[in-house]
Structure 1
Amino acid sequence: MTDTPAVLFVCVHNAGRSQMAAAFLQDRGAHRVDVFSAGSEPADRINPIAVEAMLEEGIDLRAAVPAILTTDAVRAADVVITMGCGDACPVFPGKRYEDWELDDPAGRPLDEVRVIRDEIRRRVEALAESLGV
């Protein structure tokens, strides 16, 4: 791992879970970690309920745009966190992989998305501790 670890969060649509996780880690790690997110089948836009849930935490995802998962993105990451992307995520030796089983916030009401958001925050905090950021 480099001096500044690179973390890639991946979910199917890159419109909820991975965007929230990336935003939490970026907020916590600032310049001590490089944070990226992508989706195996990106949506056209970020889930508006996820945006609303993150605004409650003081994090603004309104300008975020879903991105396609590329092999280069995985290759560049030290840590790859998957959230339901299954076999779509390429695997390279020497990288740290974690699969976070989290409900997809798509189509869920705000009260359910808050629960998902809070679980993501908890996991991101543990990840940040393990990376020393």
Structure 2
Amino acid sequence: MKKKVAFVCVHNSCRSQMAEALGKLYGEDVFLSYSAGTETKPEINKDAVRLIKDLYDIDMNETQKSKLLSDIPEVDIVIKMGCNVICPYVKASHTEDWGLEDPTGKSDEEFILIIKSIEEKIKDLKFRIENNII
């Protein structure tokens, strides 16, 4: 049975959305990816959508939407993206904080650094789940 992983952020509009997309891309055979927040935005961050499409050919506007914590199922693992405020609480058997800066409003280069960091963390998460480390 696949573990359920929630990527959480306050607004569920940028980092957590990118993590959900990359979790589905790289971890789908090992875990189910969800993202959510305590608030929503009317749309996913335009730069996140554009860069994920350019880098991975994933159209987040087609596959995802901003969701509240109450919109996702109970999960096994919670990944906090690094809220710089009080991150949302979600009950899970394992929780970790990736401490990622919000790239909103920054250059494409800075945005891509965050995206690539998320990609590496997703691959590491997959490895740890596969090997029963978490």
Q: Give the TM-score normalised by structure 2.
A: 0.84
CA shift for structure 1 position 110: 1.6
Contact 2:15–2:81 at 8 Å: present in 1 too? yes
Secondary structure at 2:69 match in 1: coil
Take 2:27 and 2:87, find their aligned partners in 1: how far apart are those partners? 27
Take 2:31 and 2:129, find their aligned partners in 1: how far apart are those partners? 9
Match of 2:58 in 1: 59
Alignment: residue pair count: 128
Aligned counterparts, 1:85-124, within 5 A: 85=83, 86-92=85-91, 95-124=93-122
CA shift for structure 1 position 87: 3.5
Q: What stretches of structure 1 of length at least 5 have no aligned partner? A: none
Take 2:14 and 2:20, find their aligned partners in 1: how far apart are those partners? 10
Q: Give the TM-score normalised by structure 1.
A: 0.85
Q: CA RMSD in A?
A: 2.0
Secondary structure at 1:62 match in 2: helix
